[in-house]
Amino acid sequence: MNQGFHMIDVGGKAPTHRIAVAEGRIYVGTHAFELIRQRALPKGDVLVLAEIAGIQGAKTASQLIPLCHPMGLDQVQILTELETEACAIRVSCIASTHAKTGVEMEALAGANAALLTIWDLTKMVEPDLKIDGVRLLAKVGGKSGLWLNPAGVPEWVEDKVSPKPAQTLKGITASFITLSDRAAAGIYEDKATPTGVALLEYLGATINGTHVIPDEPVELTRLIKEIQAEGTTRLVITSGGTGVAPRDKTPETIAALADRVIPGIGEQLRLYGAQFTPFSWSSRGIGATLGNMLIVTLPGNPKAVREGIECLHKQIPHLINTIDNIKHD
C-alpha cells in the first residue's frame, strides 16, 4: 500500500538544543550595489528590511514547506555582508531551538526570504539579479551531533555551533578507571578511556593516571584506596559496571567506600542521557565523595562517557570547592 507523503513522527524523541546556519548570495551589479551601500535604494534600506524578512521567513518555514514540522524558535539572527569585488550581498541565517527535530529548514527559509527581499527592493534599478550558493553551512543537535559542510565553513560558523569551551576543569587532577573483564584481558579494545581522557584534557583537566581493570569489587576498592593515598587526584571517573548485569557492581562498591553519596549526580546523568537514548534510565551511576576526591561512575559505552562528562563538567569545580570546605580526619 502506497502511504503517500507524510511527516516524520518525532513524538518519541527527546528535545535537544539545536542550531543551524545557512547562507546564500545575491549578485546585484555595480550600480545597485553602490545604492545599497549608500542605503539609497528608492524603496528604502534593503539591508534592514532583509533582516526583518529573514526572521519572518524562518518563523514561517512550516507554512511554506509542506512536510516541515512547526517549530518554536529560541532565536533567529540574520547577518548581511557586502562583498565589493563581486558586487554581491552575502546573507547568513542562524536559527536555534530546543526541539525534537532540527532547524535546518528554518535557517534555509530565513536566508532565502532575506535574499528575495533584497531582490524585490533592488529589481527596479537592476533587473539582472542572481541568487546563488544557497546552502546549509552547519547544524548541531540530536543524535547526529555536529555537522559541518564538507566544502568548508567560515570560522565564526564553527565557533557558533561548536564553541570552544571554557577550561572548566583547569587545575583539577583526574584519574580515569575503566572496568571491563574483556578489556582487562586484552580481548576487547578499550575505547572508553581514550574518549574520556581526551574530553577531560580538552576541558583543562590534568590526567594523573588511567587504569583498566576487571569488574571486580575487590580490585576497584584496592585501586581507589591507592589513588586516595597517593594524594593528588581530586576527580575519579569510572566507566563500566553501572548496568544490571550480574557483574555490574561499580555503584555498590563506590557507595561502600564513600564518605557521602550524591544522589543528584546520578539523577542528572540519567536525565541528560535520556535526551539521546531511553536506556539511560537503566544506568545506576552515582556520584560520591571520598576524602577530598569526587568520584563519578559512568556507563562503559564511550558515547555515554562523553555525554556524562559533558553533563557534569560545569558542576565538578563547584563540588570540589565544596569538598575543600569540609574538614576531614
- Digitized pLDDT (tens) for each residue of the chain, 329 residues in all: 456 787 888 877 778 889 999 999 999 999 999 999 999 999 999 999 999 999 999 999 999 999 998 989 999 999 999 999 999 999 999 999 998 899 999 999 999 999 999 999 999 999 999 999 999 999 998 877 889 999 999 989 988 887 766 789 999 999 999 999 999 999 989 999 999 999 999 899 999 999 999 999 999 999 999 999 999 999 999 999 999 999 999 999 999 999 999 999 999 999 999 888 889 999 999 999 999 999 999 999 999 999 999 999 999 999 999 998 854 44
For residue 88, give the H/E element and its range: strand 88-99
Superfamily (CATH) of domain 173-324: MoaB/Mog-like domain (3.40.980.10)
Residues annotated as catalytic are 120
Tens of pLDDT, residue by residue over 158-199, are: 888 877 667 899 999 999 999 999 999 999 899 999 999 999
Residue whose C-alpha cell reads 524603496 in the numeric block: 43
Q: How much is the pTM?
A: 0.62
Can you say whether residue 97 is alpha, beta or left, with left for phi > 0 and alpha for psi between -120 and 50 degrees? beta
Taking the C-alpha atoms of residue 180 and residue 302, their distance in angstroms, rounded to an integer, is 13
Q: Which CATH number does 16-161 carry? A: 3.30.70.640
Q: State the pairing for strand pair 206-213/173-179.
A: parallel
C-alpha cell at 318: 563547584
Q: Where do the structural domains in the chain lie, given as residue ranges?
A: 16-161, 173-324
